[in-house]
A and B are shown apart, each in its own frame.
Chain A
Amino acid sequence: MAEEGSALMSILNQEEGGFGERIDWALFIAVALLAVIGVVNLYSATSVYTLSRADMYVSQVYFLAAGTALAILVTVIDYRHFERIAYPLYVAGLMTLVLVLALGKGIRGSSRWINLGGFGFQPSEFTKIWLILALAKYFHNSPRSEGPKLLRELTVPALLTAIPCFLVLKQPDLGTALIHGLIFLAIASLQRIKLSSLFLLGAFTVMSLPLFWLYGMKDYQKERITSFLSPENDITGAGYHAYHARIAIGNGGFLGQGFAKGSQNQYYFLPDQYSDFPFSVLAEDWGFVGSLVLLSLYAFLVLWALRIASQAKDRFGAVVAVGVGALLFWHSVFNIGMVSGLLPVVGVTLPLLSYGGSSLLTIMLGLGLLMNVSIRRPHLAQLYSRRLVFVR
């Protein structure tokens, strides 16, 4: 790390002003804490298994190391370079999605994976980052207009989002498609839009929902939603996971059952506890105190991303920071909302806690970009001075 650090310093030195205080330590510490919690929790989640699954947490450490390296690399390169290659990256991402549909391997009725020499690679995870970059580039270059925008001015970014959404839905992966859409909404909310246009959009959404229900969704997806709406009807079927995940959370109580002692987890009542339900494991082991700490960390990360965005040097940086913030926000909120029974079961990973290389690398990539933007915001003094100038 020392060598890397010095290399980093030398690069940063070429940028404006002193860098040491420019590294966003708050962001770094929050992420490091989450990563440690993630590995420890994964150990608890897989402690019941023997053989291959038992050392998942070791693989997770490897993925984390790789992710950290990737994040450092991304941090070091000025994000303006990413702006230049945003569209090519986006197109490449789309092509991987098409590839998945062409030769993907089925896991539980949907194909999301490409096999890369032993590693399963899930392109739809990375597409979120490519989408953020593409949208950032679009909004960066879009002409500044006075007053609220009309809806049709959002056509191009909406299309940019719709294409990967459609491809991901085709897999089918409702959760990831949803995250794509919600990232777009978060970014679009930065724009001022005419009130009438918003109403129009709302009306359209409401009207298209039944059509989507009838034609756009697979049976199992519908079943998940119906079982969410009436969970007591079906405890053994589709509602099984949600039900036992909720029991696990409640079983944690205030202080928790203790590390790797949660009975719901230890006795196999939480299927996929390492990928979709790590939060129930944590909540059962550490109780309300543990969930509070974790939720606070996520909340802090998201708010911090917004803060970085608000101080970003340019629009591209701001949109990237908001996009990454939205990525973290929607992932954590959907996952925790799902396991606590507030939202229907959609397979969305919990950032830094869920097991999985693609997911982890994506998050680290996003966090690298966030750090990049954070490091390159104008110095506070500079910021204020500029504002002073502006006011004057």
Chain B
Amino acid sequence: MTYLGQRSDTAEFRRRFRWPALFVVLVFCILIGRMFQLQVIQGADYQEAARENIIRRVTLATTRGIVRDSQGRVLASSRPSYNVYLVPLVRVERKYRCLVETESWAKLIDYMHLTAEERQRLEKKIHEMCGELFQKFEEQKKERNKKPVHVPQVLVREDVSRDIVATLETHESELRGVEVVSVPVRYYPYGDLSAHMLGYMAEIDRDMLSRLRSFGYIEGDRIGAAGVERGWESYLRGIRGWEKVIVDARNNRHAGPEAERLLDEPRRLDPVPGRDLRLTVDIELVEAIDKAMRGQIAGSAVVVDVRTGRILALYSKPSFDPNVLSGGMGKQAIRDAFRRLYADPLLPTLDKTMSGSYPPGSTFKPFSALAGLKARDDQGRKLLDPMRTIQCRGFITYGKRMFRCTHVHGPMNLRDAITESCNVYFYQLGDMVGLDALAKVALDYGFGAKTGLGVNPESHGRIPTMQWYATHFKGQFRGGFTLNAAIGQGATTVSVLQLALSYAALANGGTLYQPQLVRAIETSDGAVVQDFPPRLKRRIEIDPEHHRLILSGLYGVVNDERGTAYRERIPGVDVAGKTGTAQTSHRGVHGEDQSKIWYFNRDHAWFAGFSPFHSPEIAFAVLIEHGGVGGKAAAPVAFAAAKEYQRLVASRMVPKSPQGKPAVPWRKKGAP
């Protein structure tokens, strides 16, 4: 240890420690100052930021209201749909591997009975997805980005049966990465029966979303797309709630007192369930109409309550299954269904009760008759004597044209002309009173204007006037147009709903009601929130004598041997009405299937009427598109509906109210 003595002197260093020490003190003072700034001065801000990091508001789903018919039968409700998802397990090793554990995959195939086709499709999809994932991993590696890569899930199958769900849940431990997610789906127990009236649900599109975002709609929401579902969306929908939850950086949720300590008030807003709707419709009546319509390809029917204007049945054929369109069987099924529906020449998506308008044919004649009875000449004398007969020779000539009748009826008075549907009588009547007088009565009875039911888009229909011809066909008006208008042909079109309501007004002596489809709004536990009383649209002045005359004509149609619907009458069913056979002008589309054109050239068959004849309760209008003769095709459907109504009223044994009027068929349990 000789060198120990030669150690260098430290004196040179000793004087130089003061500056470093000062530097050290200064630096630590800066750090402490920074801590003071972060933790004490800005502490509250950072605490807020920390809370924002972990507190997430999750929306709480609300339940959509239930739609019931007048007897409380559920027409539309929600049910859970179980969708099975698969999250592939991704392993990042030296070479990327992405796989569903072969064992679980095999088991999943077994439990879900996946077809070979499904298997191939899924395996391909997973393979593709993994390719994309690995690309992302590679990019991340390059960018040294630490964001976690989101592994998407693969939809295995939508709306699996409860059996399969139970099996999957039992074997949960063996099935890694398999998830069963329950989503609410609208459920229509009656399927395509009155699908047009109820409508269906569709995922909200971008346009609509931009308009409705302020009402609380978000991406992926389903919104009522037609019928009651759309018209009453705001009542049915309910209001979403929210709840604050603790979510960590990996998107896992945490519960328990330790996590809840961090939540600030208010923590939760309960969702408000949607309102239930009680419709005026009786689904049993609709079922009866459907049954009666079995032989027909396309058509529609409306039954209304004569005394209130409440709709008892709305029926449009062909129909569609709203369960499929609402997503109950998966998204692919929705697309397929729409493709099929839009390709169908019978227009199944069209609500033929109100969205379409048709020439009414002879069902229009009672209104022409009323116009004739009201008509006065310049001196105020009656133009038409209803008892005076007109000779029907099967046609008349007007100008250079010949206007045909169905038969050679011989001498006809007004009542007989309605009963036997004589065109010649009405041609002459029309010629006598003129187009505008015909139109005035028709407009009074609600034709040519929307009824305001507010469910589906409504057609105005068309009641031609001189004004209308002047604007649309300037200078082309011919007197023959008036003749056609008098028998409900030519430019005249009506919707089935309009016709039913106008016959209701005929039946009740001139009271035109605002049609009603929703009887009441109720809470989910059955309490009535709002009840809708019948609403009068207008009272139509009608001479009781005229009224009696028209009604007796309508009575004869069914009950007189010469009546056009006499042969189809059902004994014991008290009905009065009018048949109609409306000529159609089919406008061919290029490239159309020629073998089917004959169908579209057939006449529309109509029957409109009311029942029972004395003290009427219901009015109805039935249209069989291209059904041929009204008496043969449409009348049986109307009679079947009237018969079913009688049966229903009898079976429910609705007691007569003290005033002697029958009470409303629908009555709440426990209500006085």
Contacts and interface: CB of A to CB of B under 8 A. Distances in A.
A299 B24 contact: yes
The dominant DSSP class at the B interface is helix
A317 to B, nearest CB: 8
B36 interface: yes
A253 B47 contact: yes
Interface stretch (B95-103, B144-152, B429-437): B144-152
Contacts of A292: 32, 35
Interface in B1-53: 1, 4, 7-14, 16-17, 19-21, 24-25, 27-28, 30-32, 34-36, 38-40, 42-47, 49-51, 53
Interface stretch (A24-32, A91-99, A125-133, A233-241): A233-241
Given A220-B144, A268-B249, A310-B17, A250 B49 contact: yes
B474 interface: no
A288 B9 CA distance: 44
A251 interface: yes
B8 A315 contact: yes
Given A237-B145, A250-B46, A269 B249 contact: yes
B311 to A, nearest CB: 57
Contacts of A283: 35, 39
Sort chain A's interface into a size bin. Answer: 35 or more
B32 A303 contact: no
A248 interface: yes
Contact of B28 (A237, A247, A298, A307): A298
A112 to B, nearest CB: 15
A312 B10 contact: yes
B21 to A, nearest CB: 5
Given A109-B144, A264-B50, A310 B38 contact: no
Interface in B88-144: 141, 143-144
Given A247-B46, A247-B53, A299 B13 contact: no
A295 B50 contact: no
B492 to A, nearest CB: 68
Contact of B248 (A268, A317, A333): A268
A379 interface: no
B24 A302 contact: yes
B17 A295 contact: no
The dominant DSSP class at the A interface is helix
Interface string A280-322: 0001000110011001101100110011011011111110001
Interface in A25-71: none
Contacts of A329: 24, 27
A315 B31 contact: no
Contacts of A306: 17, 20-21, 24
B642 interface: no
A352 interface: no
Q: Indicate the member of B1, B13, B47 with the most A CB atoms within 10 Å.
A: B13
Nearest to B52: A247
Contacts of A244: 53
A267 B47 contact: no
Interface in A171-198: 186, 189-190, 192
Contacts of A269: 50, 53-54, 248-249
A289 B476 CA distance: 98
Interface string A139-158: 01100100000000000000
B7 A263 contact: no
B162 interface: no
Contact of B31 (A144, A287, A313, A337): A337
B10 A318 contact: yes
A142 B115 CA distance: 85
A249 interface: yes
B510 to A, nearest CB: 73
Contacts of B36: 288
A189 B43 contact: no
Given A250-B46, A267-B249, A309 B39 contact: no
A340 B146 CA distance: 20
A140 B8 CA distance: 6
B31 A333 contact: yes
B267 interface: no
B383 to A, nearest CB: 86
Given A140-B8, A190-B13, A306-B21, A251 B31 contact: no
A291 B35 contact: yes
Nearest to B142: A219
Interface residues of B, number: 53
A254 B43 CA distance: 8
A299 B50 CA distance: 29
A250 B147 contact: no
A315 B10 contact: yes
A326 B33 CA distance: 21
A253 B50 CA distance: 11
B596 interface: no
B46 A249 contact: yes
Contacts of B31: 295, 333, 336-337, 340, 342
B248 A267 contact: yes
B326 to A, nearest CB: 38
A271 B250 CA distance: 11
A313 B10 contact: yes
Contacts of A189: 16, 19-20
A295 B35 CA distance: 10
A249 B32 CA distance: 12
B39 A254 contact: yes
A247 B49 contact: yes
B254 interface: yes
Given A190-B16, A249-B35, A315-B8, A263 B27 contact: no
A183 to B, nearest CB: 13
A252 interface: yes
Contacts of B17: 306-307, 309-310
B7 A192 contact: no
Contacts of B470: none
B262 interface: yes
Interface of A: 80, 108-109, 140-141, 144, 186, 189-190, 192, 219-220, 223, 236-238, 240-241, 244, 246-254, 261, 263-264, 266-269, 271, 283, 287-288, 291-292, 295-296, 298-299, 302-303, 306-307, 309-310, 312-318, 322, 329, 333, 336-337, 340, 342, 390
26 contacts: A80-B4, A144-B9, A190-B13, A192-B16, A223-B144, A251-B43, A253-B39, A253-B44, A254-B40, A263-B50, A263-B53, A267-B248, A267-B249, A269-B249, A283-B35, A287-B39, A288-B35, A288-B43, A302-B24, A306-B21, A314-B7, A315-B7, A315-B10, A315-B13, A333-B28, A340-B34
4 tightest A-B CB contacts, nearest first: A250-B46, A267-B248, A251-B50, A299-B28
Given A249-B46, A263-B54, A288-B36, 6 more contacts: A186-B20, A237-B143, A252-B39, A295-B35, A302-B28, A313-B10
